[in-house]
Amino acid sequence: MALLNILQYPDERLHIAAKPVAAVDERIQTLVRDMAETMYASRGIGLAATQVNVHERVVVMDLSEARDELRVFINPVITRREGETTFEEGCLSVPGIYDTVTRAEKITAEALDENGKAFTLEADGLLAICIQHELDHLAGKVFVEYLSPLKQTRIKNKLKKRTRETL
């Protein structure tokens, strides 16, 4: 397995919409394993393929304390949204930045697992929020884009400054 490079906001490649996976084959299964390793090594709870510059509809996540309940979503779609909730979100592509985002409280999602088997999942709480956050990545949207233009500008400037300081 290999650790993948996570794109950092405001990298334009984060805005490329992901294409559907044509077949769940060894290439996709390797991508899933590499994404999972990258997510765990980065101490994240979710990672979309877009974030590692692969523009296909693949998401991995693990919300468990023990980090042993990997969930894989290939070609995921949300088929139902219900209610509204707000939650403070962060993102591996926007390190150190957290802010409150409003999302659906409950969702129903359909996807394929790492073996290509279809499943339907009803989710609420953190799982529903994480699914919506990661599916936004597949659509080319980063969570900070829900914030005001002023906050977005401040975040971009802060991240650009941080990048300059590390060079």
Q: Return the active site residues.
A: 134
Q: Where are the beta strands (DSSP E) in the chain?
A: 46-48, 58-61, 71-82, 85-91, 94-103, 106-112, 118-124
What are the C-alpha distances in Å from 73 to residues 90, 109, 140? 20, 9, 17
| Nearest CA-CA partner of 60 in 44, 77, 42, 47 | 47
Which of 167, 161, 132, 159 has its CA nearest to residue 10? 159
